[in-house]
Structure 1
Amino acid sequence: MTIKQEILNKIKTYDTIIIHRHVRPDPDAIGSQVGLLKAIKATYPEKRVFSVGENDPSLTYLATMDQVQSDYYKSALVIVNDTANRPRVDDERFSEGEAIIKIDHHPEVDPYGDISWVDPTASSTSEMIYQLTDNTLKNRLEITDDVARLLYAGIVGDTGRFLFPSTSTQTFEVASNLVAYNFDRSTLYNKMYEVDQSLAKLKGYLLQQVDVESNVTSVKLTKEILNEYKVSPDDTSKLVGTYGDIKGVSAWAIFVEEEDIIRVRLRSKQNAINELAARFNGGGHALAAGATVYSWQEADQLITELQQLCR
C-alpha cells in the first residue's frame, strides 16, 4: 500500500479531522491546509473538519482559521502540513490527537507522526495535497474550484511564480490541471503580490542598503527602522525576494528585529544554505531558509559564514 493510499484510508476512518500548519504561515501553508480541509469536506460532507492556527491578516484573502474545542482532539485525526519540525507547529494541541499524519516537502529533520509523508522533491505541500485527488487512488479526495484556488496559490507562492529550481515538470502538470477550474487567477495574483505604500517605501530602503561582499548582501531591519516605515516584522516576508534580481548577488540575508529575537530570512541562487540556517536555530530548503539569532553580534557571525559559503 502506498503512503498516499494509507493517508486516504485514515482520512476515511475518522469523523473528526483537525489540520495544522506552521507558525507565521505563507501561501503554501494556508493553501495546503485549507485546500485539504475543503477537499475532505467535498468528499465527506458529514465529517467535522477544522483548520487551526493564528490568522495572518496578510493571508485572510485565502482563508481564515477555525476555533476548535480542546476536547475534540481526543478522538480526532490530526494532520500537520508543511511543517518540518514539531516546535514550528502552530497550536501545541496537535500532539493531543488520537492519530497524527505529517505531510511536508521540507527536508526531514524531525520525524514525527503515526504516518509521515515527506517528499523534498515536491515544489510545495500544496502540490502533494493535489496528489491525494488522483483518480487511480481508492477513496481519493474530490477537488472543487475553491480547492483548486487554494492549492494553486500554495504552488505559486512556494515556487516564486514557477521561477525556483524546485519547479518540476510535475509542478507544471499539476498547475495546468488546477487552472482548468473556475477561479480568478488575476485577482489571486493581485492579492498575493500587492504591497501597501509603507512596505513599498521600505523596499526602497532595502535597495539603498545594497553592499555586496563575497557575492553576499544583507540588511538589518531594527525595531526603529520598522517603526519609522510603519511596517510589522511579519509584513517584511513580502520583501524577501528584493535582492534576487541584482547582478553579483548569489545569496542574501534579511534580519528582522522582533521583541526578543532577530528573525533571519535567507535566500540563495546557488549554494545550499539550509545547513547554515540549522546552525543558527533554523532550517528550510536548500535555497530558501530561515533562522533565528539573539544579538547583532550573532547576526554578523552568520553573515561571515554566509560569505565564506559563497566565495
Structure 2
Amino acid sequence: MSIKQIGQAIKNYDSILIHRHVRPDPDAYGSQAGLAELIKASFPNKTVKITGEEDPSLSFLAEMENVEDEEYSNSLVIVCDTANQSRIDDQRYQNGSMLVKIDHHPLVDEYGDIQWVNTEASSASEMIYQLYKELLDQGFVMNEKAARLLYAGIVGDTGRFLFPSTTETTLHFAAELVGYSFDRPLLYNELYKTSERLAKLKGYILQNFTVHEEGYSTFRLSAETLKKFNVTSTETSQLVGILGDIEGVLAWAFFVEEEDTIRVRLRSKGPVVNDIAANHKGGGHPLAAGAQASGWEETEQIVSELKMACLSFDKA
C-alpha cells in the first residue's frame, strides 16, 4: 500500500526534501510544512527541509528554507498537493534519489517512484494526517506544530468546512487536530484577515459584477485596476470566493491580468469547471480550478465554455 511504502521510504532516508506547488495556498504550505514537522517530531536525527518561493502572506504558517543543489544527492524528495509536474515549485525535485507524490487532485501527471493520489480527500493536509494515523505503529509522532499546520491546510481547502469536499473523515480528523495545543483563534485571524487595499477591491467587485441568466458570472481584473487598488495578482486569490455568495450564481471566473498572461480562477457550485481549465493550460478540482489565457480573446472562449457548463448542468 502506498502509505506503508511512503512510511518505509521516510525511515530509509536521513535527508528529506519536501516540495509543493507554485502560487501556494494554505493547503500547499500546510501539507508541506506539516509533513516536515511530523517527520522531525518522529525522527529527530533526520534532516528535513521545505523548499519553494516564499509567499509573504503565508509566512505566518512556515518559512521556506535554503536547499543547496548537492543536498539532493541521496535525499528522498516528497512533493505535496501538486498534480502537474510543471507546477512543482523548484524544479530540482527531480534530482533526488527517490521521489514521492502525495496529492488529492484529479490525476494529471503520473510521476514519482511512489504515488499516493486520493481525490476523495478534502486536502493534501488531510492526507498527511491520515498518513500519520496509519503509521503510528512505525514510530510516527504528531505534535502541536504539525497539528497547527495540517489544521490550517484543511480549513483553507474546505473553505472553513463549507465546501462539498468536506467529509465525515475530514471533520473527524479536524476534531482530533484541535485537541493539540495551538492558538486556533490566532490561526483563523491570520488565515482570513483582509487588508484595507483588498477590502476596497472587494467592494469594487461587488458593485460591478453581473450575473447572467444562465447562472454564470465573470469579472476582469486588469493590470490598470490592480494598480489602482495597489493589489498584486497573487493577493486577488483571497477574493475568488466572493461571487459564490451571490444568489443565482452557479459558476464564476476571475480573469486577472499579469505581465505575460491572464490568470484564470474558476469556481463552481455544481457545473464542472476543471475540464474547462484543462482546455486552457490548467486543471484542478471539478468545482475549483485554475488556468491561463494568452489574451482577452481567449477569455471570451472560456466565458463561452462556462456558459455551456451552466446550461448543461442539471439543477434538479
Q: Does 1:268 align with 2:268?
A: yes
Matches within 5 A, 1:279-294: 279-294=279-294
In the superposition, relative to structure 1, how do residues 59 and 217 fare at CA in structure 2: closer, same or farther (>3 Å)? same
Q: Are the aligned partners of 2:3 and 2:134 in contact in 1 as well (CA < 8 Å)?
A: no
Partner of 1:174: 173
Matches within 5 A, 1:151-230: 151-213=150-212, 214-230=214-230
Q: Are the aligned partners of 1:265 and 1:291 in contact in 2 as well (CA < 8 Å)?
A: yes
| C-alpha separation in 2, matches of 1:141 and 1:254 | 42
Partner of 2:131: 132
Structure 1 residue 134: Cα displacement: 1.4
Q: Are the aligned partners of 1:280 and 1:292 in contact in 2 as well (CA < 8 Å)?
A: yes
Q: Are the aligned partners of 2:77 and 2:99 in contact in 1 as well (CA < 8 Å)?
A: yes
3-state secondary structure, aligned to 2:100: strand
| C-alpha separation in 1, matches of 2:11 and 2:262 | 43
Partner of 2:314: none
In the superposition, relative to structure 1, how do residues 300 and 135 fare at CA in structure 2: closer, same or farther (>3 Å)? closer
| C-alpha separation in 1, matches of 2:93 and 2:135 | 30
Matches within 5 A, 1:40-55: 40-55=39-54
Unaligned runs of 5+ in 2: 312-316
| C-alpha separation in 2, matches of 1:279 and 1:212 | 24
| C-alpha separation in 2, matches of 1:172 and 1:92 | 34
Write out the 4+ residue segments of structure 1 that deviate beyond 4 Å after TM superposition: none
What is the aligned length?
Answer: 310
Partner of 2:302: 302
Q: Deviations over 1:245-295 (max 9, x none)?
A: 100000000011111000001000001111111001100001000000011
| C-alpha separation in 1, matches of 2:161 and 2:140 | 25
Q: Are the aligned partners of 1:132 and 1:140 in contact in 2 as well (CA < 8 Å)?
A: no
Partner of 1:234: 234
| C-alpha separation in 1, matches of 2:283 and 2:14 | 35
The amino acid across from 2:278 in the alignment is A
Q: Does 1:243 align with 2:243?
A: yes
Residue range with higher mean Cα deviation, 138-147 or 118-127? 138-147
| C-alpha separation in 1, matches of 2:279 and 2:204 | 29
Structure 1 residue 205: Cα displacement: 1.0
Q: Are the aligned partners of 1:36 and 1:147 in contact in 2 as well (CA < 8 Å)?
A: yes
CA RMSD across the alignment: 0.9
Structure 1 residue 141: Cα displacement: 2.1
Partner of 2:64: 65
3-state secondary structure, aligned to 1:133: helix
**What TM-score, normalized by structure 2, do the two folds share?**
0.97
Residue range with higher mean Cα deviation, 202-211 or 87-96? 202-211
The amino acid across from 2:47 in the alignment is R
The amino acid across from 2:127 in the alignment is M
Q: Are the aligned partners of 1:8 and 1:140 in contact in 2 as well (CA < 8 Å)?
A: no
| C-alpha separation in 2, matches of 1:172 and 1:230 | 38
Partner of 2:98: 99
| C-alpha separation in 1, matches of 2:269 and 2:124 | 22
| C-alpha separation in 2, matches of 1:72 and 1:136 | 26
| C-alpha separation in 1, matches of 2:138 and 2:15 | 17
Unaligned runs of 5+ in 1: none
